Amino acid sequence: MTAIPADHHPGALLLICDDCGRTHPGGEPATAWHVLWAQAVREGWRGRDRAVGPHHCRHCTG
């Protein structure tokens, strides 16, 4: 999946797991890809460091 615009905050990005569809909005809304990806990696997400993915949540990489 890709990082897509989030509904809850204008300009924020939402990360979607390619395996299960879980989302990662991050603690603070991230408006830049590198910030969102850094938040996700700290929480156990894995994948390519590009917005087009693939990306996998901590539940799917565990």
pLDDT digits (tens, 9 = 90+) for 12-23: 888 889 999 998
Task: Please state, for a pLDDT cut of 90, what percent of the chain lies above it.
Answer: 35
Q: How far apart are CA 54 and CA 40, in angstroms?
A: 13
Coil vs helix vs strand at 53:
coil
Q: Are 1 and 18 in contact (CB under 8 A)?
A: yes
Whether the predicted pLDDT of 58 surpasses 90: yes
